[in-house]
Amino acid sequence: MNEGINNSGTVGFWRNWGTKRLSESATASPSLDSMLLLAFALETSKNNLFVHDSDVVPELKANTFKEFIERRLKGEPVAYITEQKAFWKHDFYVNHSVLIPKPDTEILVEKAVQILKQKKEKKELCIADVCTGSGCIAVSVYSELIHFLPAEEYDIQFFATDISDKALSVAKKNADSILGSGYKINFLKGDLLEPILRTGLQFDLIMSNPPYVPSKIVSELLQDGRNEPELALDGGEDGLKLIRQMIPQVWNALAKNGILLVETGEYNADETRNLLKKRGFVNILTYTDLGGQQRLTIAEKV
Ligand code: GLN
């Protein structure tokens, strides 16, 4: 089917060609995917493509683009091909060691920022992001709080943990490139809250997007070539294995009036609320994501 393709086609030609190729697959956004992959092959931004619509694409770059399209056709997510994903207000570096940041998780950042604004009367705050992965939650929340909790006035201790060394180095890379030098996030390796419990500190805010997908669904999800790390998704039979382990740890780590924000599946949000209630948490609320699914549960220890 590639016969007759003019390899010295223009940007516009290749953009449309990619869209057409991807429309033959299950891709939900063929036009956007084609643009992102073409921009990446041309080492430019998506918006720049239109300005250069009638420029001729050199053959080498056209070949690179065609390879990207083939990978996408096999199910590989655009973000793993381009090694980046926009989340909240920044572009995050990603590789196969971390989950791709999803728009579903932005509600967690939004609520964490709102809660921190309400805690402004406290001059010392301890904050943690558990199972940080790419660091998208920690880095996004940190990038916001420096504006309303200035370092001259506030003593902020900020931690981000993960069990995977490879994930932690991705998170650090993102903190370095997005926050620049001088940021204070302590990246700690360990299982769930273990590393922050070791600090002996009492936390005001604990955030987490832990693995919460039931094992059966994980294998279905990954069948389409999505190829995200199983370790970051698999939450055991009902998806709640790690959340169950985490709840007593969170209870011990939180200060009085400390708050937990945890992402779950729409299918296990109800049970998450039950588990939190049983442990003694109050003011338990679940928020829906942009797709209208129960995604974020917030609970308070009083
Ligand atoms: N809904 C998320 C995804 O599909 C699952 C993330 C998780 O298990 N924490 O990527």
Q: What pLDDT, on a 0 to 100 scale, did the predictor assign at position 28? A: 85
CA pair distance 96, 63, nearest whole angstrom: 24
User: Which atom number of ligand 1 is nearest to the Cα of residue 221?
Assistant: 4
C-beta of residue 192 within 8 angstroms of C-beta of residue 210: yes
User: Which atom number of ligand 1 is nearest to the Cα of residue 228?
Assistant: 10
Q: What pLDDT, on a 0 to 100 scale, did the predictor assign at position 148? A: 96
User: Which atom number of ligand 1 is nearest to the Cα of residue 239?
Assistant: 8
Query: And the tokens for 165?
Result: 């060394």
Question: Comparing 3-17, 144-158, 173-187, 253-267, which segment has the lowest mean pLDDT?
Answer: 3-17
CA 74–ligand 1 middle distance (angstroms): 21
CA 122–ligand 1 middle distance (angstroms): 33
Query: Is the predicted pLDDT of residue 36 greater than 90, yes or no?
Result: yes
Nearest to 18 by CA among 49, 43, 47: 49
C-beta of residue 183 within 8 angstroms of C-beta of residue 153: no
Strands (E), 163-277: 186-189, 203-208, 254-263
C-beta of residue 275 within 8 angstroms of C-beta of residue 243: yes
CA pair distance 163, 132, nearest whole angstrom: 9
CA pair distance 28, 75, nearest whole angstrom: 11
**Entry pTM:** 0.93
What count of other Cβ atoms lies within 10 Å of the Cβ of residue 223?
A: 9
Q: Which of 209, 224, 294 to mutate to test the pocket of ligand 1 (most atoms within 8 A of CB)?
A: 209
CA pair distance 269, 293, nearest whole angstrom: 10
Q: Where are the domains of the chain?
A: 11-74, 88-300
Compute CA distances 152 → 98, 112, 187, whole Å.
34, 21, 22
Question: Comparing 62-76, 132-146, 165-179, 223-237, which segment has the lowest mean pLDDT?
Answer: 223-237
CATH topology of domain 88-300: Rossmann fold (3.40.50)
Query: Is the predicted pLDDT of residue 230 greater than 50, yes or no?
Result: yes
Burial of 192 (C-beta count, 10 Å sphere; 0-12/13-18/19+): buried
The three-point CA angle 92-260-198 to 5° equals 85
Average pLDDT, the chain: 94
Angle between helices 30-41 and 59-73 (to 10 degrees): 140
Residues in the chain: 302
| Placement of tokens 């679940």 in the chain | 286
User: Which atom number of ligand 1 is nearest to the Cα of residue 104?
Assistant: 1
CATH topology of domain 11-74: Helicase, Ruva Protein; domain 3 (1.10.8)
| DSSP-assigned beta bridge partners for residue 300 | 259, 282
Nearest to 34 by CA among 3, 71, 9, 60: 71
**CATH topology identical between 11-74 and 88-300:** no
CA pair distance 159, 94, nearest whole angstrom: 20
Question: Comparing 14-18, 26-30, 116-120, which segment has the lowest mean pLDDT?
Answer: 26-30
CA-based R_g, the chain, Å: 21
Name the closest-CA residue to atom 5, ligand 1. Answer: 233
Average pLDDT over residues 159-179: 98
C-beta of residue 258 within 8 angstroms of C-beta of residue 130: no
Average pLDDT over residues 236-261: 97
